[in-house]
A and B are shown apart, each in its own frame.
Chain A
Amino acid sequence: MKVLLSWLREFAPIEGDPVAIAEEMSDLGMAVESIERLGSGLDGIVVARVVALRPHPDADRIQLVDVDAGDGEVMQICCGATNMALGDKVPLATLGTVMPNGMRIERRKLRGQWSNGMLCSGAELGLGSDHSGILILDPNLEAGTDLRTALGIEEDVLYDLEINPNRPDALSVAGVARDLAARLRVPFRLPDPVVDEQGAPLRDLSVEIVDPDLCGRFVARLLRGVTVGSSPAWMRTRLLALGMRPINHVVDVSNYVMLELGQPNHTFDLAKLRGGGLRIRWAHEGERIVTLDGVERSLAATDGVVADGEDTPVAIAGVMGGSSTEIDASTTDVLLEMAWWQPMAIARTSKRLGLRSEASARFERGTDPEVIDLAARRFAELLLSGGGELAPGTIDQRGELPDPAVVRVRTSRVNGLLGTSLTTAEIKGYLTPIGFRCEPASDASGQDATGGDDVLVVTVPSFRPDTSTETDVIEEVARHLGYGRIGRTQPTAVRTGGLTVRQRERRLVREVLVGLGVDEVMPMPFLEPGDLERTGSPVPGIRITNPLVAEESVLRTSLRPGLLKTIAYNASHRNAGVRLFEVGKVFRAVPGRELPEEPEHLAVGLAGVEAPDAVGIWRVLAEALAVVDARLDQAALPGLHPTRSALLKVAGEPVGFVGEIDPSVLEGFGIDERVAWLEVDLDQLLGLPHGQRLYRPVSRYPSSDLDLAFEVDEAVPAAEVESVIRSAAGELLVGLRLFDVFRGDPVPTGRRSLAYRLRLQANDRTLTDAEVADVRAAVVRAVESTLPARLRG
């Protein structure tokens, strides 16, 4: 909502620095988004009449214009524009004028021809954005008049305000002025136009509200003998400043009244209205009307219409008029409609038809049913300044109107909610100037049930339909007190803050990975149809009903596609070999449940390296989380490299995958390096036993190392050899490490040599050679007897 300072001042003596005024409006919740100073710098600009036009003898792009600036003397001006004609009135910057952009107008020669001033465009004068040509003025203006006087321009300030949805009252100049006047503690006054009524009264028109749930109030007045000409300059200037295009006097007055008082209105050409009446009702399904924009529209039963006496719709209620009764140049008798429409009805219809207007925006937030009488008189006053008369008599029909809210406001509640210590009188002092009538509760229940408290009975004004509860009223008190004047305290109770175990472990997972040189990424969780299938995910993703683009139409069930796309993106920007991880939710529909599961997953992709690097990451992670009984079960898994992938199991439960991405999947993503891969369901993993770290005594006695190399069949995983060694070595084994793997001569094909170093140690003694030899024998016997393996010589 834009407002002019001069317009605000018509309602209240608002004085002071325009910036300070802006700060007050912002502090009241009407945030000032911009401040524009208008009409300054028009000193020295006068209305001039074009007397003659000649080409410049030596310049194609310059025209010589003779103008008369009112004193009958003809002055030659050089001008670059060509849009004016003989007799036009144009703005002339006289010699010595300083233009808004700081340029000083001097007498000078252009290619040998004198120029005695400058003709100006609208943009050059700060009167709009048009700089395509010279501003052509109203031909009735007198040459020599000061332009500011001629256009009714005062130096003014234009504020652009952001109005919150709960402030329909602030969608009018008067409403903004009321709020501001209350803050500045100056009196606020609405105009009270008195218009003489003449001629035959408005009688023979029947207006019927057929559906009272659509229309709360419908007022009609008749204005006769109207001339549809242009509006006075001052009105057009104000409309332009507030962002509305002047059309003709009737339309302009209609808009002016809406902006000023917040009451949208509609006009019918009475001569075109058939059936001698108006019927206000819900539309019939499929009923048709051609609206003012020339479009034929089909209506739904949820739309409201104003129909003529023959029951043919002549307007879509509160949204747009019909073309059949449109005001045109021949109109003389104007039937004015001022109504209150059910907000939801207007919201529905304007949304359904995609027709949003200044009028519908106001109706759907709720207009003031009580301002209608004043708005109608104001309309008549403004329109009749151009001739015509107001017929006596008002048609005023009522449907269902909301009752004015009456709210009990407890002083204890105000202070309890705000943390203030206002008195009841102070509360009343904030509410009364913005139209909230406050009376002390007169009955016995004036005492609050919680004991001896003051209660105000507050009647909410008709222009504040948003306000209906005690809390709503308290917000008004807070607003006018000023949020900055409410104290700053902190909740008193001592509280213990902290992260949950899970939140700390999530941080640990991230920190471990960062320590391992892996970068965290956060790709979008949206996928393209087919992405999941391409990565071997068997679970279909949940579809987004209304995606903006197909590439973002599926929710991920796996982090795989997102991370692979990120690797591909980086590779395509000459960053091969990236090491990336993501911790994030995936989404899986659960049959019979409304909401999906959202387990949190970890995925690690290491470009340019092989599977063991990913296994190494898993080992470190498992150690960091103190995971118990972690195992790798080598298996061909969908989407992973068939001979380089394993299922991760903890305590026998699957928790994820490790290995490499299947080369054909990589190809599908345009990745031409290997990608070692780790994927863990963190919900699953962290739900299993982990994190226990009980002290094991550190032995003070010497340890003995035992190196054993076994020739083992390729079909036997090293993990199995390890587990046989562990159980055979027993509790003296404190360390086991695979330190060499060897394939080739003299080891026969189909087998490989696995060399382990066992560290043996006891807590209570130094081991004897015999004890070490016993362990050695037991281990060799166990490995050779249970596995296709033998000790190498």
Chain B
Amino acid sequence: MQVRDGRVSRVSDRDVMREIELGRQEAAARIAAARTLDELRTVETEVLGRKARLTTVKKGLGTLGPDERRQAGQALNEARQALQVALDERRAQLEVTERAQRLEAERLDLTESRSEARRGHLHLVTQTRDRLEDVFVGMGFTVAEGPEVETDFYNFEALNIPAAHPARGMWDTLYVDLGEPETVLLRTHTSPVQIRVMQASPPPIAIVAPGRVYRRDTADASHLPVFHQIEGLVVDHRVTFADLAGTLEAFTTAYFGGAIHSRLRPSYFPFTEPSAEYDINCIICEGEGCRTCGQTGWLELGGCGMVHPNVFRAVGLDPEEWTGFAFGFGIDRLALMRHGVDDIRELMINDVRFLEQF
């Protein structure tokens, strides 16, 4: 386009308007045709940048008369605004498309997972022991521990089982080569912890003592030479047999659930008097009678009773001033019952195919 004079300028005026319109149309077509964001960025420079057709038109506006210039300038602005809108819209469209494409490209079959992430498993006995501790802690007990290698004094004598007492036959004891012959042994029950606790701190006492115990026994489906017990001891002024019965009932419903209740039957243990067997409703049939409970509806869980005065005397407590109760039962059998394991030896074999079930 050449601008020579006023006449020409009039002609040019029409040309400018046409040029703007053509430039806008061309640019709009190119924006619409852009297939990618990259392309769109190039198009943007080309249609609105320094070398763009409309920019060239703008540079030529100076030659126009004031009215024409205003008119053309307005048209040019409108054209550029329209193009800007078109660009934004197109960019938004392309962004959606491109994100969709990128995500599609990332598509995974999640069932192809080869993740090695795994958790380990606490041993069934630990799980059971922890649950028992938690229930008793909730009932106001603390957890006491004691040595597994014990003296005859703690395991027997202080528990009112003097040497040659016929009741010693109730336990098959493993002795170790320490001290005088048959004076140091692997504890046959967790009861020695009672003695140690009473020696260490004055009443009131409310402890449970879980731990490993030993018997001279051959392993079979229901016996292990090494197994686990939990012992309980409460000593205070005016602790009664009714407190024992109430404590065990509270524990029973807390641990086994509200449908399971306890009962006590007379029994004999040298370290308690009165002594009792502690039974619970069969957890399989809830008392209806089944194979597990021998149709009786009851399971024998353990033993309990009021602390024998001789036990108090052995630790220097006055049985007239203090009374107390003790109880004890096996942890392993609870673990087996809960999960329906019918061979206790699984607990010491430690086959990962067993361990990882729980």
Contact = CB atoms under 8 A, between A and B. Distances in A.
Contact of B178 (A516, A522, A523, A596): A596
A545 B182 contact: yes
B351 A569 contact: yes
A381 interface: no
B80 interface: no
A780 B358 CA distance: 53
B239 A544 contact: no
B190 interface: no
Given A573-B353, A580-B352, 17 more contacts: A31-B277, A164-B267, A416-B238, A418-B242, A489-B246, A497-B139, A517-B118, A519-B120, A520-B126, A525-B148, A548-B218, A552-B225, A569-B351, A573-B351, A579-B120, A587-B148, A595-B184
A522 B350 contact: yes
Interface stretch (A264-272, A476-484, A733-741): A476-484
A543 B176 contact: yes
Nearest to B305: A475
B120 A542 contact: no
Give the residue among A516, A545, A548 with the most B Cβ atoms within 10 A: A545
Nearest to B323: A417
A174 B60 CA distance: 135
A471 B325 CA distance: 13
B136 A491 contact: no
Contacts of B356: 519
A594 B180 CA distance: 9
A547 interface: yes
B348 A487 contact: no
A785 B352 CA distance: 52
Contacts of A518: 120
B151 A580 contact: no
A514 B242 contact: no
Given A416-B323, A418-B240, A479 B245 contact: no
Interface of A: 26-29, 31, 164-167, 344, 347-348, 364-365, 416-420, 469, 471-472, 474-475, 478-479, 483-484, 486-491, 493-500, 503, 507, 510, 513-526, 542-548, 552, 555, 566, 569-570, 573, 575, 578-581, 585, 587, 589, 594-596, 598
A344 B164 contact: yes
A483 B245 contact: yes
A519 B323 contact: no
B249 to A, nearest CB: 5
Interface stretch (B5-13, B71-79, B90-98, B258-266): B258-266
B140 A488 contact: no
A487 B176 contact: no
A497 to B, nearest CB: 4
7 contacts: A491-B236, A494-B140, A495-B206, A544-B177, A548-B216, A595-B178, A596-B178
A165 B268 contact: yes
B105 interface: no
B275 interface: yes
For chain B, give the interface size range: 35 or more
B351 A419 contact: no
B166 interface: yes
Interface in B214-247: 216-218, 225-226, 234, 236, 238-243, 245-247
Shortest Cβ-Cβ A-B pairs, 9 listed: A419-B242, A29-B266, A419-B240, A495-B140, A164-B268, A488-B246, A475-B274, A514-B120, A521-B350
A515 B119 CA distance: 5
Nearest to A33: B294
Given A469-B309, A548-B216, A487 B137 contact: no
Contacts of B164: 344, 347-348
A484 B352 CA distance: 44
B242 A595 contact: no
Nearest to B246: A488
B240 A484 contact: no
A496 B140 contact: yes
B350 A580 contact: yes
Interface in B165-212: 166-167, 170, 174-179, 181-184, 186, 204, 206, 212
B49 interface: no
Interface in B134-174: 136-143, 145, 147-151, 164, 166-167, 170, 174
Interface string B104-120: 00000000000001111
Nearest to B139: A497
Given A490-B246, A570-B352, A596-B149, A520 B123 contact: yes
Contact of B355 (A510, A519, A596): A519
Contacts of A578: 352
Contacts of A566: 350
B318 interface: no
B133 A487 contact: no
A471 B249 contact: no
Nearest to B262: A488
A165 B123 contact: no
B282 to A, nearest CB: 16
Contact of A575 (B150, B276, B352): B352
B250 interface: yes
A519 B127 CA distance: 12
Contact of B166 (A347, A416, A419, A487): A347
B273 A475 contact: yes
A238 B311 CA distance: 43
Nearest to A466: B268
A520 B130 CA distance: 14
A523 B348 contact: yes
Given A483-B276, A490-B246, A548-B218, A497 B141 contact: yes
Contacts of A344: 164
